[in-house]
Amino acid sequence: MSKDARPVQRGTPMELKLIALPWSAYERPAAALGVLKAYVRAHRPAVDVEYICAYLPSTRSW
């Protein structure tokens, strides 16, 4: 643990929200966030990880 990191109190559930920003392609989720979610689940199973897609509907039709 780095000297700047604060330890998590025992019994305190930790939540991690990974947010895909709106300029990503909707049909292709961000690969980096998928890899990060898998890493956290493998190495910190007590952490609740949620992947959120914050895509905005387009008002233009090209």
28 secondary structure, DSSP code: S
Alpha-carbon gap, residue 26 to 15, rounded angstroms: 24
Residue 46 lies in a domain: yes
CB neighbourhood size of 24 (10 A): 15
Q: Is the separation of the CB atoms in 16 and 48 below 8 Å?
A: yes
| pLDDT tens, position by position, 7-57 | 656 667 789 998 877 665 666 667 888 899 999 999 999 999 998 877 766
Quote the pLDDT of residue 43: 93
Question: CA of 1: how far to CAs of 5, 6, 59, in Å?
Answer: 6, 9, 47
Quote the pLDDT of residue 60: 53
Residue 19 lies in a domain: yes
Question: CA of 41: how far to CAs of 16, 24, 25, in Å?
Answer: 11, 23, 24
Residue 60 lies in a domain: no
* Total-model pTM: 0.59
Residue 22 lies in a domain: yes
User: Residue 41: which domain range?
Assistant: 15-53
The domain total for the chain is: 1
Residue 8 lies in a domain: no
